[in-house]
Amino acid sequence: MNKRANWSIPYAIFLSIFVALPLLLIFVYAFRAPGGGFSFQNFVKFFNESEVINTFLYSIEIAAYNTALCMLLGYPAAYILSNNKLNKSAITIMLFVLPMSINALIRTLATVELFDILNVALGEGTLIFGMVYNFLPFMIYPIYNTLRKIDPSYYEAAQDLGASPFEIFTKVTFPLSVPGIQSGITMVFMPTISTFAISEFLTNNKIKLFGTIIQENINSSFWNYGSALSLIMLVIIGLTTILTGDGSSDSQKGEQSI
Amino acid sequence: MKDVIINIEHVSKQFGDKVVLDDINLQIKKGEFITFLGPSGCGKTTLLRIIGGFHLPTDGKVEMEGKDLLTLPPHKRPLNTVFQRYALFPHLDVYDNVAFGLKLKKEDNEDIAEKVTKVLRMVGMSDYEDRDVNSLSGGQQQRIAIARAIVNQPKILLLDEPLSALDLKMRKDMQIELKEMHQKLGITFIYVTHDQEEALTLSDTIVVMNEGKIQQIGTPEDIYNEPQNAFVADFIGESNILVGTMIEDRKVSFIGHEFACVDEGFEPNEAVDVVLRPEDIYIMNKLEGAQFTGVVKSCTFKGVHNEIFVETENGFELMIQDYNFFQPGNTVGLIIKPADIHVMKKDCLSNRFEGEITAEGEVTFLDTIFDCDTTGFEVGDKVCVDVAFEKVDLLDHKEDSDLRGFVSFILYKGNHYHLTITTEGGAKLFVNTNDVWDKLDTVGVNINAEDIRLTKIEA
């Protein structure tokens, strides 16, 4: 083994203890009956509990709304921030990203207080508001990065070939920023399915999401069923990642100039 | 005039405090291949971008076929650009890149296909329609970039150093192809390059630029054979630039000898610059019949010719190109024919600045205080300050001087260097020196009190 390969040993140990082992445990627990022994019992239970399946579908729906809203709000924001003519200060991008550094739980609790003061009833509306508020920076940032990396000579070339400002956007800017949108979707859609804290606080536990159900099961020591639900979610996340074409691998596309 | 396609009048451009273009006046004829030539930072690309619509001039007007061009945004101008780094759209394949402009014009799909196929055949890139542009080599990308521009049938094609990213062999091939393309299309090409050989090969007209000003406009032959000033002579091809005196019409003295020449219209005994192309000096081993003699310092084989450095009996160094080899150390005879001597007016004879007497024994110019003899002047007098080229001292340690700058241009004049120093305040100072400096060296400037000549400016 050469020397450089040795450097990876600490990471390999870290990954095996904190990533591979827990995944393996989830996998093993999911296929075991509460009493012990190999079993599909947990999965059978999932497909027979319409309430859980409905929650699962509802979570996906909420996640889809959240992602769509984040994109609608985040893309123009990222576009303005990345444009030197519209945004001359580096502070504005910081203001957008700064909330990311405050704990999500604290922000959510603060939002609850805000709704309380404003006398807004907690429910689906406040849930989506909280989610968009929490996840918007994760949509803005990758799109902003991709837009920043687009060589301005593409805009000039498009302009030179007769494209109006609107056509430059639809035919050059937007297609070149797709990798950033993909990253943004991956970073917003996946975590929203599994989130539970936001739904718990911002709906006063009235609305349950799939993450809530997993959390309740684990909390009540239903380890095997909780693991099975986690595994199902992991598979769904994995599939979506493959389908959207994980942004990380192509997010540099805008950067390639020649 | 009817055959003028672009008319540029008094165009200036500033970025902040920096003057990039200074009062440019230029007319471009329909169908010609015109090249903006100059070192980097001379403003050639800025001028092209003003025509293309990517910059607006601070001042002046640009007309195309008699109509104001500046009010049109770039996407409405009937011209197309080939960008320096091609700027091919990475998300589109070759076909869609080339068809981009036609699709925007909402042309019929069949027409587009026909035109794209035709233009790709013209640039030798048929069968590449479906290729990803990132998979193409530099030369191939270059062809696609040209195809993408000319498929729109522009009246003018702008090319911004299009060959600079290619290797030498490829560059030579593309030069020939560009020239052929220009003849075939019959449209106006406006080309920007810093490569003088490329400009001489391709152009019908060359516009030599330096520091935001046009130095000379002419055919490649004019520019090479009759450079108007030392900058052009030095920038285009190799040359010996020497200090001379015009004794009378058709008689000039330099390197300690008098020569017959063909230039007229100078004042008697006017100081001039003399340009000799290295291939125009005749060198021979026999000394009789020679106008003057010299000793061969070095002789280097350069492929087609030998490059010979000869020191004349008066200590001037000349560069000569000849097919024959001459043994270093040998004394050789030299002849210069009258028609090969190019006499140029000097830009200026000494450094001249406006200044003010700020105290007894002190004059301020170039934002710097200098000691000097102020007898006969009063504090507050506006004065004209003259400093001879050879009286300016350059110092390595710029801390030792109040006036600092950098070497912006170097000219070797046979037995000394003529330097242009750009000061921190942006002013220019000319210096004759025997010391060797490199371009962009930072220097301190010192002028002795007795070398400062003052003349009063009458209010």
User: How much is the CA Rg of chain B, to the nearest whole Å?
Assistant: 27
- B3 Cβ contact partners less than 8 Å away, ≥ 6 residues apart: B29, B30, B31
Token reading at B127:
């069968």
Rounded mean pLDDT, A90-98: 77
pLDDT band at A1 (very low <50, low <70, confident <90, very high): low
Percent of chain A with pLDDT over 90: 31
CB contact under 8 A, B89 and A158: yes
The pLDDT value recorded for residue A117 is: 92
Token reading at A37:
């022994």
- B43 Cβ contact partners less than 8 Å away, ≥ 6 residues apart: B13, B20, B21, B22, B24, B209, B211, B212, B213
CB contact under 8 A, B81 and A157: yes
Instruction: Tell me which residue in B75, B80, B134 faces A164 most closely, judged by beta carbons.
Output: B75
In angstroms, the CA B12 to CA B277 distance is 34
Chain B hits for A162, Cβ within 8 Å: 75-76, 101, 104-105, 152
CB contact under 8 A, B87 and A154: yes
Instruction: Identify the bridge partners of residue B295 per DSSP, sorted by sequence position.
Output: B311, B331
Other C-beta atoms closer than 10 Å to the C-beta of A77 total 21
Q: For A17, which DSSP code?
A: I
The pLDDT value recorded for residue A252 is: 40
Rounded mean pLDDT, B195-218: 93
Chain B hits for A147, Cβ within 8 Å: none
**Does position A256 have pLDDT exceeding 60, yes or no?**
no
| Range name among A160-174, B151-165, B291-305, B426-440 with the lowest pLDDT average | B426-440
ipTM over 0.85: no
Write the single-letter amino acid at A60. I
pLDDT band at B391 (very low <50, low <70, confident <90, very high): confident
CB contact under 8 A, A176 and B90: yes
| Range name among A243-252, B94-103, B118-127, B267-276 with the lowest pLDDT average | A243-252
Helix axes A223-244, A41-48, angle to 10 degrees: 70
Write the single-letter amino acid at A224. N
**Does position B87 have pLDDT exceeding 60, yes or no?**
yes
Report yes or no: B101 and A161 within 8 Å, Cβ to Cβ: yes
CB contact under 8 A, A157 and B91: no
Q: What residue numbers bound the domain in which A136 lies?
A: 49-255
**Does position B1 have pLDDT exceeding 70, yes or no?**
no
Between these two residues, A257 and B183, which has the higher pLDDT value?
B183
B351-456 shares the fold of B240-345: yes
CB contact under 8 A, A161 and B134: no
Structure-token match 């979570």, residue found: A59
Between these two residues, A68 and B392, which has the higher pLDDT value?
A68
Rounded mean pLDDT, B265-287: 90
Between these two residues, B167 and A96, which has the higher pLDDT value?
B167
Where are chain B's structural domains? 4-230, 240-345, 351-456
Chain A hits for B138, Cβ within 8 Å: 258
The pLDDT value recorded for residue A253 is: 39
**Does position A50 have pLDDT exceeding 90, yes or no?**
no
**Does position A185 have pLDDT exceeding 70, yes or no?**
yes
Percent of chain B with pLDDT over 70: 99
Instruction: Tell me which residue in B74, B90, B91 faces A160 most closely, judged by beta carbons.
Output: B74
Q: For B55, which DSSP code?
A: S
- B454 Cβ contact partners less than 8 Å away, ≥ 6 residues apart: B355, B357, B363, B372, B374, B377, B383, B384, B385, B386
> What's the CATH architecture for B351-456?
Beta Barrel (2.40)
In a domain, A33, yes or no: no
Probe site for chain B from A85, A149, A161, A177 (most B CB atoms < 10 A): A161
pLDDT band at B68 (very low <50, low <70, confident <90, very high): very high
- A147 Cβ contact partners less than 8 Å away, ≥ 6 residues apart: A78, A79, A82, A83, A173, A177, A180, A254
In angstroms, the CA B77 to CA B158 distance is 12
Residue A4 has φ and ψ, to the nearest 5°, of: -65, -35
Please give the residue of chain B at the shortest CA–CA distance from A153: B87
Structural fold of domain B4-230: Rossmann fold (3.40.50)
Q: Give residue-wise pLDDT tens across range B127-178.
A: 898 999 999 988 899 999 999 999 999 999 999 999 888 888 888 888 998 9
What mean pLDDT value characterizes chain A? 85
Rounded mean pLDDT, B401-423: 86
Question: CATH code at A118?
Answer: 1.10.3720.10
Probe site for chain A from B85, B89, B133, B164 (most A CB atoms < 10 A): B89
CB contact under 8 A, B104 and A156: no
The pLDDT value recorded for residue A2 is: 66
In a domain, A106, yes or no: yes
pLDDT band at A187 (very low <50, low <70, confident <90, very high): confident
CB contact under 8 A, A258 and B138: yes
CA–CA min distance A98, chain B (Å): 33
CB contact under 8 A, A160 and B105: no
**Does position A258 have pLDDT exceeding 50, yes or no?**
no
Chain A hits for B165, Cβ within 8 Å: 258
pLDDT band at B459 (very low <50, low <70, confident <90, very high): low
Domain B240-345: which CATH number of 2.70.70.10, 3.40.140.10, 2.40.50.140, 1.10.10.10: 2.40.50.140
CB contact under 8 A, A158 and B100: yes
**Does position A246 have pLDDT exceeding 70, yes or no?**
no
CB contact under 8 A, B85 and A167: no
Torsional sign, CA B114, B118, B121, B123? negative
Instruction: Tell me which residue in A154, A159, A167 faces B89 most closely, judged by beta carbons.
Output: A154
Rounded mean pLDDT, B194-217: 93
Report yes or no: A155 and A176 within 8 Å, Cβ to Cβ: no
Rounded mean pLDDT, A99-106: 81
Q: For B86, which DSSP code?
A: -
CA–CA min distance B151, chain A (Å): 10
In a domain, A10, yes or no: no
Please work out, in degrees rounded to the nearest 5, the angle formed at the alpha carbon of residue A205 by the alpha carbons of A203 and A211: 100
| Range name among A119-123, B199-203, B217-221 with the lowest pLDDT average | A119-123
Q: Give residue-wise pLDDT tens across range B316-360.
A: 999 999 999 999 999 999 999 999 999 988 877 788 888 888 888
CB contact under 8 A, A162 and B101: yes
CB contact under 8 A, A171 and B100: yes
Torsional sign, CA A57, A63, A64, A65? positive
The pLDDT value recorded for residue B56 is: 93
Report yes or no: A190 and A241 within 8 Å, Cβ to Cβ: yes
**Does position B226 have pLDDT exceeding 70, yes or no?**
yes
Interface residues of A toward B, Cβ cutoff 8 Å, are 151, 153-154, 156-164, 167, 171-172, 175-176, 178, 253-254, 256-258
In a domain, A22, yes or no: no
Please give the residue of chain A at the shortest CA–CA distance from B54: A156
CB contact under 8 A, B134 and A171: no
Counting the structural domains of chain A, the total is 1
Other C-beta atoms closer than 10 Å to the C-beta of B205 total 19
In angstroms, the CA A258 to CA A198 distance is 45
